[in-house]
A and B are shown apart, each in its own frame.
Chain A
C-alpha cells in the first residue's frame, strides 16, 4: 500500500489547483451592489453594457480559423488587434428557434438578449441588461443609459414587452441628460456602509468561532482540511470587510465640454463621428458613476446605414446585392460589416482612454457586443457573431476565440449574469434553456 497521507495531500493540492482556477478572483470580489475590489484594495464598481451592430457579418472576414488563445485575427477584426487579449470572440452560437417563425432582425436579437426567441415584438422581457442592471446598477442616478448612433430612435433593452428603454440619438441631448441639470458630483456623496453586509460579516465571524471545537474532534489529516475551510471563510470575511470601506474616489474626472453640433443621420461617416462622440460621453458618465449599465445601438438590426452618395441602405443591400463571385460574399454589405468593427474599436478606445485603479475603465467593464443575425441576406440566427470585451474587474477572462458548435447562444447570457454575481443557474426557454455556463469566460 502506498503512503496514503502523502497521496491524499498531493491529491488535495491537485484538487485545489483544479478548482483554484477561481483563485485569482480572490482579490476581487463583488458585493450585492456590483462593486468590485481591485487588487489594490480599492473598491471600483463594475459596469455592464451591450453594443449592437445590425445585419451580421461576413464569416470569412470575421471568424478566426483557430480556436483557443492562439488565433489570428481575420480581416474585419484586424483593427481590434490592440484589444486582442481583452476580447473574447464567440462564433457558432445559435438562437434556437424550435420552429418559431423567425421575424427577421428581431427574433435573433431579442432571443440572444432574453434567452427566448419570439416570432414578433412580444419580447420575453426583461432583457439581459435589465436583469444585470437590477443587481449592479441600483444605486446610481440612471438605471441605464441607451444610445443609438445612426439617427434611429430604437432600443433592444426592455423591462417589459412593448416599452423599450428609449435611446438618445443626439450627442447634445445625451450630454445634457448626463452632465446637465441633475448631474451628481461622484465624490460628494456620503458613504454609508450597508448594514446587511455588516450583519453578513458578523455571521461569518460567528462561524469561525467554531474552529477550536471542530479541530479537536478530528484527526491530523482532517484538521488540515478543516483549516482550509476556515481559511476560506476568513478570506470571504475580509472581502466583506472591504465592502464596508468607502468606495475609491473618482479620480481625474473633468466635466466634458458640450459636443459640437453635427449631422445625425444614417450615413456611415456621420454615424462613425456621432458614435465616437457619444461613446466618449458615455465613458465619462460611467467613470463618474452616473450609470453602470448602458446599451449602444450602432446601427439598427435592419441596418439603415448608408454609404455617402448612395441611397441604398445596408439592410437593403443585404437583400439586393448579388454575391461577388470572386469574393464569395456581398461586397457592399461587407464594407458595412468592416465599418461596424471599426466603430467597435472606437468604442473600446473610449473606454480604455479613461484610467481607473491600476488599469482603465475598460478593465472594469463587461461589454457584450452582438449582432442580430449571422448572414443577413438569409436572416440566419445560427452563429450570430458575439464578443465580450473588458474583464469586469477580473470577473471574466478574455483573449480567446470559442466555437459554439451550434450550442444555444443563451450560454453567453447565462455566463455574463453569473460573472456579475446574479444568482441564476438556468436561463432561456426550450432549446435555449441552459445551465451550461462558459467555463472559459469565468476562468
Chain B
C-alpha cells in the first residue's frame, strides 16, 4: 500500500474540516450551541438497505474491475425515480425478467471478452498446464479475486467452493478451462450479490440499541457514494483486514477516494439525478417551433450544466449557492445555435460566459433546465416554477385538479393575451388555481425571456415580456434576480443537504436523524457551502453507517415530497 500525494483539492477539504474543528473548539466558551452543532450528534441510524445498481454504477463497476475497454452491450431499462431521486428508486426497484435477460446478455458478453484468447492473460492470474486441464488452484484464485471485486467483500469458503463446483462441472462438459471460467464469471455477474447491494449488519452491536453496518457494507456505501463504483482493491483490503474500523483509516480512505479519478463522476451522478436529466429521454420539441432542437442539443445541454457544476464546485472549489448566479457558459457549436453565441471551437467545449444581453445567470437559466421544464411548443412558467421549488428547494407541488379547464392558458396565439403572463392571469384569479399557482408561476415568470427551448427573446406575439417574479415574498426581475433569490433562500442549502444524504443512503432521513441533519446543515454552512466538505462530513460520520435494529423500512421510504417530475 502506498499513500497517494494529496492534491490541492483534498487539502482544501481537509482544511475546511480543520476549520470546522477550530470553530467548534474556540466558540465553545462563547456559545453553548455551537460546539454541539458541529460535533456529530447522536443519531438513530436507519435500516440496512437493499439497493439495485444503477446503470451508471454497473458500467463504472465493470470498467473498474475489468477495464474501460470491455464493452457492455446491454439495454438497461428505465431507472425508477422515487422521491425525486433515482438513488431512492434503487431501494424500491425490483428486477424484472426483461432486466434479467439484459443482465445476462451483458454478463455473457463481458465474460466472453474477459476469457477470450486475446484477453485472458490480463485477467487470469495463472494458467493451466494444458488448456483442456482443470487447474483448481488457478480457478480458485480467479474466483476469489473477481468474486471479491464484484461482490464487494471477501467470499466465504462455502461460496468459493460453490463457484469452483460450477467451474468444475462446466469444465467436465466443455473440456476447456477458460470456457469453464467464462461461465463461472457469467454466474458471478448475474448473481444477486453483484446486481444488488444487499447491506449487512455487523454481528456485534457497537453500543446498546444501535448496530453498525458490517465493514464490507460500509466500504461499499462509502465507495458508491464517493466514486459511483465498487470498492477498489485498496478499500477492500482495508475492510478485509479490519483497519477501516479505525476512524483515521476511514478518513484516509475518504480523502483518497475524493482525490481520485472517480470522484468527479460521483458528483456528476448526484446532480444528474437531482436535476432529473433522465427525463431528457422523453423530451420532445416541435421541430417547426424549435428547429434548433435535436439529440445533440439535448445531450450537450445536460453536459453544459454538469460541466458548470463540477468546474465550479470541484475545480474552482466554489460555494454551492453561486451555482444560481454563475455566468460561466461552456458551449459547443450545437448549443451556440440555441444560445445565439459564437463558438469558434469545432470539436470540443469552448469555455466562456453568457452574453450580457441575454441576462443569463445560474444553472436555472441553462437550456437543460429551461427546455426540460417547458412544453413541446412553448415555455411554461408553471412547470419552471414547479421545478424551481421541487428540484432546488425540495418543496412538493401537488398535481393540478382533474377537472381544470386549460383552454385559455393554452392558446398561445391569442392577440388579447400575447404573453404567458397574460394567459396565466387566470391562475392568479380563479380560486381553484390560485392556491398552488401563486407558489409556482411567479418564479417561473421571471424566466420568460427564454422560450420553450431556452433561446433568449424579449417579445412574445409582438408584446414586450415582463420578467418580474417572486419567490416566497421576495420580488425580483429576470433570471439573475431569481438566481440571487435562490442563492439566498435558506432552503436551497438545506435541500441539498437532505438530497445528498438520501443519495448516499438510498432512503429518506428518519425522525431520529433530525439532529444529525441539522449538524450537516451547520457543517455545510461553516464550510462556506462547499459540497465536497458536506460529502466528506457524511462519509466520516457515524450516522452514515449506523443501523436501527429491526427498523421498519416503511418509515425510511415514506416521504414528504412527490416522486414525479413530469406533471403538466
Is A68 part of the contact surface with B, judged by Cβ < 8 Å?
no
Q: Could you list 12 examples of A-B contacts with CB < 8 Å?
A: A19-B99, A20-B98, A198-B173, A199-B179, A202-B170, A206-B163, A206-B187, A214-B192, A224-B94, A405-B294, A422-B73, A442-B75
Contact in complex: A219, B553 (CB < 8 Å): yes
Contact in complex: B97, A231 (CB < 8 Å): yes
Residues of B within 8 A of A4 (CB): 553-559
Listed stretches B100-108, B255-263, B353-361; interface member:
B100-108
B96 CB contact (under 8 Å) in A19, A230, A418:
A19
Known: A11-B82, A200-B183, A235-B100. A16 touches B94 (CB 8 A): yes
Which 10 pairs, one residue from A and one from B, show the smallest C-beta to C-beta distance?
A22-B98, A4-B554, A423-B73, A4-B558, A232-B100, A19-B77, A228-B94, A222-B50, A1-B558, A203-B187
The A402-419 residues at the B interface (CB cut-off 8 A) are 405-407, 418
A405 CB contact (under 8 Å) in B96, B190, B287, B556:
B287
B80 CB contact (under 8 Å) in A15, A206, A406:
A15
Is A335 part of the contact surface with B, judged by Cβ < 8 Å?
no
B555 CB contact (under 8 Å) in A1, A203, A229:
A1
Is A3 part of the contact surface with B, judged by Cβ < 8 Å?
yes
- Taking the closest CB of chain A, its distance from the CB of B477, in whole angstroms, is 36
- CB-nearest residue of chain B to A424: B73
Residues of A within 8 A of B165 (CB): 206
Is B560 part of the contact surface with A, judged by Cβ < 8 Å?
yes
Is B352 part of the contact surface with A, judged by Cβ < 8 Å?
no
Is A40 part of the contact surface with B, judged by Cβ < 8 Å?
no
Residues of B within 8 A of A225 (CB): 50, 92-95
Q: Encode A324-362 as 1/0 by CB contact (under 8 A) with B.
A: 000000000000000000000000000000000000000
Residues of A within 8 A of B186 (CB): 200, 203
Q: Encode B151-195 as 1/0 by CB contact (under 8 A) with A.
A: 000000000001101100110011000010001101100111101
Known: A12-B92, A199-B173, A423-B73. A214 touches B198 (CB 8 A): yes
The A379-426 residues at the B interface (CB cut-off 8 A) are 405-407, 418, 421-425
Question: Considering the chains assembled together, what is the distance between the CA atoms of A399 and B56 in angstroms?
Answer: 33
- Taking the closest CB of chain B, its distance from the CB of A3, in whole angstroms, is 7
Question: Considering the chains assembled together, what is the distance between the CA atoms of A425 and B190 in angstroms?
Answer: 19
Contact in complex: A2, B558 (CB < 8 Å): yes
Contact in complex: A229, B170 (CB < 8 Å): no
Is B74 part of the contact surface with A, judged by Cβ < 8 Å?
yes
Known: A29-B101, A207-B191. A2 touches B183 (CB 8 A): no
Is A437 part of the contact surface with B, judged by Cβ < 8 Å?
yes
Residues of A within 8 A of B48 (CB): 218
Contact in complex: B94, A15 (CB < 8 Å): yes
Contact in complex: A20, B96 (CB < 8 Å): yes
Residues of A within 8 A of B455 (CB): none
Is B89 part of the contact surface with A, judged by Cβ < 8 Å?
yes
Is B72 part of the contact surface with A, judged by Cβ < 8 Å?
yes
Is B295 part of the contact surface with A, judged by Cβ < 8 Å?
yes
Is B47 part of the contact surface with A, judged by Cβ < 8 Å?
yes
A15 CB contact (under 8 Å) in B89, B104, B173, B295:
B89
Contact in complex: A423, B105 (CB < 8 Å): yes
Residues of A within 8 A of B558 (CB): 1-4, 7
Question: Considering the chains assembled together, what is the distance between the CA atoms of A225 and B91 in angstroms?
Answer: 10
Residues of B within 8 A of A200 (CB): 108, 183, 186
Is A264 part of the contact surface with B, judged by Cβ < 8 Å?
no
Residues of A within 8 A of B170 (CB): 199, 202-203
Is A217 part of the contact surface with B, judged by Cβ < 8 Å?
yes
Residues of B within 8 A of A196 (CB): 174, 179, 183
- CB-nearest residue of chain B to A17: B96
- Taking the closest CB of chain A, its distance from the CB of B139, in whole angstroms, is 14
- Taking the closest CB of chain A, its distance from the CB of B91, in whole angstroms, is 8
- CB-nearest residue of chain A to B100: A232
Residues of B within 8 A of A143 (CB): none
Question: Considering the chains assembled together, what is the distance between the CA atoms of A136 and B193 in angstroms?
Answer: 33
Most-contacted residue by chain A among B94, B191, B558, B559 (CB, 10 A): B94
Additional A-B contacts beyond A7-B557, A423-B71 (10; CB < 8 A): A2-B558, A4-B557, A8-B554, A15-B93, A206-B163, A206-B165, A210-B192, A218-B198, A221-B554, A230-B192
Residues of A within 8 A of B93 (CB): 12, 15, 225
Contact in complex: A229, B554 (CB < 8 Å): no
Residues of A within 8 A of B179 (CB): 196, 199
Question: Considering the chains assembled together, what is the distance between the CA atoms of A16 and B89 in angstroms?
Answer: 12
Is A226 part of the contact surface with B, judged by Cβ < 8 Å?
yes
Residues of B within 8 A of A5 (CB): 554
Is B563 part of the contact surface with A, judged by Cβ < 8 Å?
yes
- Taking the closest CB of chain A, its distance from the CB of B130, in whole angstroms, is 19
Known: A3-B558, A206-B162, A225-B50. A437 touches B75 (CB 8 A): yes
Contact in complex: A232, B99 (CB < 8 Å): yes
B166 CB contact (under 8 Å) in A8, A11, A203:
A203
Question: Considering the chains assembled together, what is the distance between the CA atoms of A422 and B109 in angstroms?
Answer: 10
Contact in complex: A1, B75 (CB < 8 Å): no
Residues of B within 8 A of A199 (CB): 169-170, 173-174, 179, 183
Question: Considering the chains assembled together, what is the distance between the CA atoms of A228 and B195 in angstroms?
Answer: 13
- Taking the closest CB of chain B, its distance from the CB of A315, in whole angstroms, is 32
Known: A7-B557, A206-B162, A226-B50. A217 touches B98 (CB 8 A): no
Is B122 part of the contact surface with A, judged by Cβ < 8 Å?
no
A235 CB contact (under 8 Å) in B78, B97, B169:
B97
Known: A218-B50, A425-B74. A26 touches B192 (CB 8 A): no
Residues of A within 8 A of B72 (CB): 425
- Taking the closest CB of chain B, its distance from the CB of A36, in whole angstroms, is 13
Residues of B within 8 A of A232 (CB): 95-97, 99-100
The B47-78 residues at the A interface (CB cut-off 8 A) are 47-48, 50, 71-75, 77-78
Question: Considering the chains assembled together, what is the distance between the CA atoms of A202 and B163 in angstroms?
Answer: 11
- Taking the closest CB of chain A, its distance from the CB of B510, in whole angstroms, is 10
Q: Encode A222-251 as 1/0 by CB contact (under 8 A) with B.
A: 101110111111011000000000000000
- Taking the closest CB of chain B, its distance from the CB of A103, in whole angstroms, is 25
- Taking the closest CB of chain B, its distance from the CB of A252, in whole angstroms, is 32
Residues of A within 8 A of B162 (CB): 206, 209
Question: Considering the chains assembled together, what is the distance between the CA atoms of A233 and B162 in angstroms?
Answer: 18
- CB-nearest residue of chain A to B166: A206
- CB-nearest residue of chain A to B184: A203
Is A188 part of the contact surface with B, judged by Cβ < 8 Å?
no
Residues of B within 8 A of A29 (CB): 101
Question: Considering the chains assembled together, what is the distance between the CA atoms of A423 and B563 in angstroms?
Answer: 34
Is B200 part of the contact surface with A, judged by Cβ < 8 Å?
yes
Contact in complex: B97, A11 (CB < 8 Å): no
Is B196 part of the contact surface with A, judged by Cβ < 8 Å?
yes
- Taking the closest CB of chain A, its distance from the CB of B197, in whole angstroms, is 11
Question: Considering the chains assembled together, what is the distance between the CA atoms of A236 and B179 in angstroms?
Answer: 21
Contact in complex: B97, A8 (CB < 8 Å): no
- Taking the closest CB of chain A, its distance from the CB of B280, in whole angstroms, is 11
Q: Encode A13-34 as 1/0 by CB contact (under 8 A) with B.
A: 0011011111101100100000
Contact in complex: A229, B196 (CB < 8 Å): yes
- Taking the closest CB of chain B, its distance from the CB of A210, in whole angstroms, is 7
- CB-nearest residue of chain B to A203: B187
Known: A1-B558, A2-B559, A23-B97. A236 touches B104 (CB 8 A): yes
Residues of B within 8 A of A39 (CB): none
- Taking the closest CB of chain A, its distance from the CB of B445, in whole angstroms, is 30
Question: Considering the chains assembled together, what is the distance between the CA atoms of A245 and B183 in angstroms?
Answer: 21
- CB-nearest residue of chain A to B284: A405
Residues of B within 8 A of A23 (CB): 96-98
- Taking the closest CB of chain A, its distance from the CB of B95, in whole angstroms, is 4
A11 CB contact (under 8 Å) in B92, B96, B198:
B92
- CB-nearest residue of chain B to A1: B558
- Taking the closest CB of chain A, its distance from the CB of B206, in whole angstroms, is 19
Is A309 part of the contact surface with B, judged by Cβ < 8 Å?
no
Question: Considering the chains assembled together, what is the distance between the CA atoms of A3 and B100 in angstroms?
Answer: 29
- Taking the closest CB of chain A, its distance from the CB of B113, in whole angstroms, is 10
Known: A198-B173, A214-B198. A406 touches B294 (CB 8 A): yes
Q: Encode A422-439 as 1/0 by CB contact (under 8 A) with B.
A: 111100000000001100
